[in-house]
Structure 1
Amino acid sequence: MQKIFYEKEIDLLHQLKELVSLTVDESIDYKIEDHGVRAVGSLAIKGEYISQEKRHFLENVELDVYADDQKIIDRQDFHLKVEDFHYDIIDGNLKIKIEVGVYGVEEGENRYIQLDEDPIDEIEKLSRDVETQTINEQVVAEAPEEIQDVEKLQ
């Protein structure tokens, strides 16, 4: 068995005071492909919490796990199962770490997947990285001229 750990922060608008219930259920379909097996589906993170009143939440984590024939011990035994999960309450939000067992494959290195809470945050981060890279490229392009000016002054 191999393990995959998924980490996800669930934004509850900093309103979480007490966690009443939390479950993680898998819903996975298996597709046999030419050179392996693919597990496609989702993990449903459901819970109830208290802020000013009782509230419910539901978050889905999409899964797409491919096992190559070279790593599969038994195609019939290949499956994913939620083994365990742990959570922390941080600033009124929930951070959950889900342990998924991958059965029917050779043991290997555990995989850790950090799931971003919002794709918009990821897009903003990428655009900031592009802006920084562009600024750095401009500075590098201008630097040789400045060095030449210093040499002329000497």
Structure 2
Amino acid sequence: MATRFVWTCSYMGCAWFDVYPDKGEKFSVELRRELSDYERSTLNKRTDPEREIIPTIGMLRRESRGNIPIPKEIVRDFNAWRLADWETQIAKMRSQPERYGEILAEDPLFRRPKPVGAVHFENMKDTDHGYFWVVDVAPAEPTLAPAELAA
């Protein structure tokens, strides 16, 4: 995996990552995990969450220049990196039960990350809706993590 990813921050149901592709320039992506009731209450009255936000949950999108698709290889590498990072963190916590306590397999805080897809937007001509999301890469079906295969 030649592409590098760096988590930069998380806030209000989103996480942002810097992407350093093996070819091309660095760019940033956003991964929306949810749209909370609180966040929904803060939206501008002109925002249509069903059209503008909900379709991006579980999908990567460029932080700026959102009309440029994210290549499927970047999405594949991001999913692999995210799973490997999760496995590393879980192994670290399991190796230190005196610090982190017992980690139960059914604990929702420790679920393996679901694979994500990617979207970009396209302008809608001759309408007042502005833009719509186009799916570049659909989320893959989850597979068992290597640690789960051994169990």
Q: Normalising by structure 2, what TM-score? A: 0.25
Q: Which has the larger radius of gyration?
A: 1
Quick check: which one's helix share is greater?
Answer: 2
Q: Normalising by structure 1, what TM-score? A: 0.25
Quick check: which one's strand share is greater?
Answer: 1
Instruction: Give the structure, 1 or 2, with the largest relative contact order (CA under 8 Å, sep 6 or more).
Output: 1
